Structure 1
Amino acid sequence: MSQPFDLSLFPDLPAEVVKAFTAQQAALEAARFEAKIERAARQHEQAVVAEKEAFIIELKALIERLEGQVQNYRHTKFGPKSEKLDPAQLELALEDQETAIAETQAQIAALEERIAASEPDPEKRRPRAARKARALPESLPRVERIVEPDSIVCPCGCGDMVRIGEDRSERLDYIPARYQVIVTVRPRYACSKGRAGVVQARAPAHLLEGSWPTEALLAQIAVAKHSEHMPLNRQAVVMARHGVPIDRSVLADWMGRTGALIAPVVDHMARRLMAESSRLYVDETTAPVLDPGRGKTKTGYLWAVLRDDRGWGGAAPPGVVFHYRPGRKGEYAAEILAGFNGTIQVDAYGAYTHLATPKRTGGAPLQLAFCWAHGRRKLIKAQPTKGSPIVEAALLRIAAIYRIEDAIRGSAPDHRRAVRQDLSRPVVGEFFEWLNAQAARVSKKSDLGEAMAYMLKRQEGFRRFLDDGHIDIDSNLVENAIRSPAMNRRNALFAGHDEGGRNWARFASLIGTCKMNGVEPSAYLRDLFTSLANGHLDKNIDDLMPWAYAHGTKQVAMSS
């Protein structure tokens, strides 16, 4: 930069020259200042543009990541792979993917706030859209916390301001578990003159006499194990953390004794389902059991027998009973279903086949209605890695049948049958004709050939729903019911004994039926244990059913 010219070195210059030179110098300084301002403005604008470009690049990367996560989530939940995942594995996979999606959405929201804050024009700053309000259940207790301003003195000097309204917001809080000891005191009274005996109130009845736990604690332990899938050893750790050091073996003793006491209730519920139903769902799931003689586990089974007539508007309450058996042979199915006559909805496992023949013991031959979801699943599983036009076409045809079912779910049996005869029967007939033609083109020894043969050989069972409005198209309801015992199995690994398997089955029956009837399991079990302790089992066992608790009978049954 050139140095300013010093006029003092030339005192003899004319005034006009000095004036002109001074004006020129001032103009140059003004030009330099304006150039500096423009350069600073350009630098600031470039910085803003660079910042916005960086924001855009980061935002695009986050959006791309979110789109990929959502696509993976949809593929896991709705894609063909969902047919191959164990339900418990599917839930865990979806849980982690939902967590990742929420994290990415939070990062996008934070970046959008930074972009809005960087906008120099206040009018262009758009506030972040508020989250959609969610209503918390009205049944939850409310604790109001009023936050007052530091001062309500009016600046104008008129005194305190007046309240003209309020803003309310709700947040969900948690109170940690708290254990307490209930001390029961029973005073004794006697005549002061010794003329009469002693008077004392009777001791309250307890489910486990001579033991520490209240009925509420027993219910909590049972639900934590069989509904929330926390094995007793983990519960013992949690209790110790809360200052209650109870050994796992003690908890096991409590659950074993309680399981024996609820057996009559579960047995009666099983008899009610069998005697009052013309259509039942049946399925089975593994229940590994420790074999002490070999030091290994053997495979036991929980057989689920479920009633749910809501699909055709039936009035009978839904329920499920699990039966533990040491195997999966057909003789166990015959034993469990002895005395039942009607239709069973099953997955075409061979153990049920002989129940539909005149050789069946324990009743007349049963009608077998096979599950279309299982047939669909076998086709998907047999699909080659590169895809198959046959499988894709089969799935589209099955989907058309399901759309008809969706439209009549909950309708009366006669209406369901009429619609099926009119709309579904032609579609099902065309499906099996088409499937038979495709099977002729595929090797019978291939996976796809075996999947098609699975349905073709069992057409009678797959068509049975068409002629009876009481029957559903699949057995998904019982599959959903066995998910909870399956989760318990994954967490507890195995039962320690066959009796432990029967204990699992009893609690799973009561808790599963509670869930089907919209009953909170802890509340039901607490009141059931109280009723059993007070001898209600000998009065009216029907009042102790979970569905009775759901429909208001609990005021009679559980308060006795």
Structure 2
Amino acid sequence: MKSEVLPSFEAFMAEPETAFKLYLEAVKAMESFAEMKSTFEHAAEAIKVAENLRTELATEKERNSRLQFRVLQLERLIYGRRSEKLSPAELNQLRLDIQAEEIASSLITDITDVNYKKVTTVTKPKAHPGRNLFPAHLRREEVVLQPFDYEEGDVYMGDEVTETLEYTAGEIWVKRTVRQKYVKKQTDGSCTVKIADLPVQTIDKCIAGASLLAYIVVSKYIDSLPLYRQIEMFKRIGVDFPSSTVSNWITKVCELLYPLYELLKKEVLKAEHLNVDETTMKVIDKAAKKGETHKGWYWVYLHHWGKLVFFDYKPTRAGEVPESMLKDYKGSIQADGYAVYEGISKRNGNVLVCCMAHVRRKFEELYKNNDPRAGVPLQLMNELFGLEEECRIWSLSFEQVEMVRYHCAIPILKKLEAWLRHQKEQPDNDAPMVKAINYALNRWDKLTIYVENGRYQLDNNSAERAIRIVAINRKNSLFSGSHEGAQRSAMLFSLTASCKLNGVNPMAWLTDVLERLPYLPKDDKYLELLLPNNWQPKPVVPSLTEILEN
């Protein structure tokens, strides 16, 4: 091959000019070949670099996506509800993953990027706020200590007082109502006996006074302490009540409170906006097989802005239950996706508002199962919930809330809807993703209508919070003894939970109401003053001794 390209010595000598030209052309051809080979080598190297960059880009995108989800996790940890926060296992895994990526990132950091000036921040230590003063109404027992070397003639100069809180097991005390009797002799020689009337008792001929009855009710329906545990506690302080007696007291209290319960129902159904939810309770049913319980249902109707809540018990979840309750209701209803509420709204002309929290939870489940696509809707929904929180913090009026939603929430909702519709068309969707997207889009108008009225809410969490007391009670009491007992519980849940909504001490409220009710006419104009949102405690009248001392 070499002899065909380069001229021989004889040819070179015979025709030196031609041979020299051929030689130069051959050299140029070899140089071109070398340049072409070098170009191909550079191109191959460039392709390899491009492939590496493409791989690194994909890796960085994946890492960025993971970090976005971890930010969402941390936001949920800080701001989320307890049930939506990270579990300890998730939190530990999050810390390990972030630490690993930070270490890997630090290993590839260019040395020129780490020249920085260290800044030391001096934080001024916070002053101790001091110990809170103990409430003045607490009973105080005083122990006076004299110096061990005290001598007669030492001049007293003051006291050093140290207070500590102590506890004595719950005290049941005896109220002795002493009615003094007098005899008046008449002119005809006869005698007339004078004695004060016995005050009306909360429960006729009952040994339990209003405060003890209130304590038992509040302990069971606010503190979720079953009756049998309370009876055991009473035994430890020397008082033994049969369980049937205590149960009968609860029944009698409910009979007394029933008119107030019915009035509460009327007031709740006057609400312009009503939050509705339901939950289960196991109930002993005589018709059920031995060892089995019936699944009954508590329905909650919350007047959020009026701070009143009404619980109703029914043995079934059939649609006829809320239909009967809401047949005459005019206003907006906020609920989950239960289809019966849509039917009620259509028949009565009510506005139905759905719950965005239910949508968020479905994407939370996707995220927990390592589906990175759920990050976008979660972030957008978090922004919506953040806006609502800001409105609450600033105590905005309904009109101001509407303005905030119009200018800030609607653009976010448009982005969320666009993402949902785009993602729905993607071929790689699995069943959970399709279910979550369809759940949102099928209710989209009812999910977004909240922006039109400041009274509407983004979620139905307020009803879920109100009904949580049933869930806690369910864990401790396990079941209700009968359907009638479950309905009595609904009555007491309603009244005590309404106290909590209004920041009213349920023990003080119920004690006062049980003392007043026997004297009041069963008329709404009198009873409405006893509802937790209207109730005012009786003024404390100082005793004659206190007046003289002051």
Q: Give the TM-score taking structure 2 as reference length.
A: 0.71
Post-superposition offset of 1:351: 2.5
Give 1:3-42 correspondences, 5 Å limit.
none
Given that residues 276 and 302 in structure 2 are in contact (C-alpha distance below 8 angstroms), is that contact kept between their aligned partners in structure 1?
yes
Give 1:174's aligned residue: 167
Give 1:443-458 correspondences, 5 Å limit.
446-458=431-443
Q: 1-side partners of 2:458 and 2:76: how far apart?
A: 24
The gaps in structure 2 that reach 5 residues or longer are: 1-72, 89-125, 541-550
| Residue from 285, 294, 314 that aligns with 1:298 | 294
Given that residues 76 and 82 in structure 1 are in contact (C-alpha distance below 8 angstroms), is that contact kept between their aligned partners in structure 2?
no
Post-superposition offset of 1:74: 8.4
Give 1:326's aligned residue: 315
Given that residues 307 and 502 in structure 2 are in contact (C-alpha distance below 8 angstroms), is that contact kept between their aligned partners in structure 1?
yes
| Residue from 396, 419, 438 that aligns with 2:379 | 396
> Is 1:546 aligned to 2:543, yes or no?
no
> Is 1:247 aligned to 2:242, yes or no?
yes
* Cα-to-partner distance string for 1:360-415 (whole Å, 9 max, x where unaligned): 3xxx2211111111211121123353x12221221111111122222222211111
SS at match of 1:291: coil
Given that residues 75 and 81 in structure 1 are in contact (C-alpha distance below 8 angstroms), is that contact kept between their aligned partners in structure 2?
no
> Is 1:206 aligned to 2:189, yes or no?
no
Give 1:459's aligned residue: 444
Given that residues 207 and 530 in structure 1 are in contact (C-alpha distance below 8 angstroms), is that contact kept between their aligned partners in structure 2?
yes
Give 2:333's aligned residue: 344
> Is 1:437 aligned to 2:422, yes or no?
yes
RMSD (Å) for aligned C-alpha atoms: 3.1
Q: 1-side partners of 2:229 and 2:252: how far apart?
A: 20
Post-superposition offset of 1:219: 0.3
Q: 2-side partners of 1:443 and 1:355: how far apart?
A: 38
* Cα-to-partner distance string for 1:470-494 (whole Å, 9 max, x where unaligned): 1121111111111112111111111
Given that residues 184 and 192 in structure 2 are in contact (C-alpha distance below 8 angstroms), is that contact kept between their aligned partners in structure 1?
yes
Give 1:423's aligned residue: 408
Which residue identity is paired with 1:382? Answer: L
SS at match of 1:213: coil
Comparing 535-544 with 337-346, greater Cα deviation is found at 535-544
Post-superposition offset of 1:444: 6.8
Q: 2-side partners of 1:189 and 1:82: how far apart?
A: 65
Q: 1-side partners of 2:374 and 2:366: how far apart?
A: 8
Q: 2-side partners of 1:491 and 1:76: how far apart?
A: 29
Q: 1-side partners of 2:412 and 2:184: how far apart?
A: 88
Distance 1:211 1:76, change over 3 A: farther
Distance 1:396 1:137, change over 3 A: farther
* Cα-to-partner distance string for 1:198-244 (whole Å, 9 max, x where unaligned): 33221110121012110111000001111111111111111111111
Comparing 499-508 with 173-182, greater Cα deviation is found at 173-182
Given that residues 322 and 506 in structure 1 are in contact (C-alpha distance below 8 angstroms), is that contact kept between their aligned partners in structure 2?
yes
Give 1:448-527 correspondences, 5 Å limit.
448-527=433-512
Distance 1:248 1:169, change over 3 A: same
Give 1:269's aligned residue: 264
| Residue from 145, 148, 151 that aligns with 1:150 | 148
Query: When the two structures are aligned, how many residues end up with a matched partner?
Result: 423
Distance 1:438 1:76, change over 3 A: closer
Post-superposition offset of 1:132: 6.1
| Residue from 351, 354, 364 that aligns with 1:370 | 354
SS at match of 2:328: coil
Q: 2-side partners of 1:525 and 1:484: how far apart?
A: 18
| Residue from 527, 534, 540 that aligns with 2:519 | 534
> Is 1:190 aligned to 2:190, yes or no?
no
Which residue identity is paired with 1:369? Answer: V
Given that residues 369 and 464 in structure 1 are in contact (C-alpha distance below 8 angstroms), is that contact kept between their aligned partners in structure 2?
yes
Post-superposition offset of 1:347: 1.6
Q: 2-side partners of 1:459 and 1:84: how far apart?
A: 23
* Cα-to-partner distance string for 1:254-273 (whole Å, 9 max, x where unaligned): 10121122111011011012
Distance 1:170 1:366, change over 3 A: farther
SS at match of 1:335: helix
Given that residues 520 and 526 in structure 2 are in contact (C-alpha distance below 8 angstroms), is that contact kept between their aligned partners in structure 1?
no
| Residue from 195, 211, 225 that aligns with 1:216 | 211
Which residue identity is paired with 1:380? Answer: E
SS at match of 1:191: strand
Distance 1:240 1:457, change over 3 A: same
Given that residues 383 and 448 in structure 1 are in contact (C-alpha distance below 8 angstroms), is that contact kept between their aligned partners in structure 2?
no
> Is 1:381 aligned to 2:365, yes or no?
yes
Post-superposition offset of 1:536: 4.6
Which residue identity is paired with 1:347? Answer: D
Which residue identity is paired with 1:439? Answer: K
Post-superposition offset of 1:136: 4.8
Given that residues 512 and 537 in structure 2 are in contact (C-alpha distance below 8 angstroms), is that contact kept between their aligned partners in structure 1?
no
Q: 1-side partners of 2:217 and 2:509: how far apart?
A: 12
Q: 2-side partners of 1:152 and 1:440: how far apart?
A: 92
Distance 1:297 1:139, change over 3 A: farther
| Residue from 297, 304, 307 that aligns with 1:308 | 304
Q: 1-side partners of 2:190 and 2:156: how far apart?
A: 71
Which residue identity is paired with 2:138? Answer: P
Which residue identity is paired with 1:377? Answer: R
Identity of aligned residues (%): 29
Post-superposition offset of 1:137: 5.4
Given that residues 355 and 366 in structure 1 are in contact (C-alpha distance below 8 angstroms), is that contact kept between their aligned partners in structure 2?
yes
SS at match of 2:433: helix
Give 2:25's aligned residue: none
- Please identify the structure whose Cα radius of gyration is greater: 2
Given that residues 513 and 530 in structure 2 are in contact (C-alpha distance below 8 angstroms), is that contact kept between their aligned partners in structure 1?
yes
Q: Give the TM-score taking structure 1 as reference length.
A: 0.69
Which residue identity is paired with 1:176? Answer: A
Distance 1:451 1:168, change over 3 A: farther
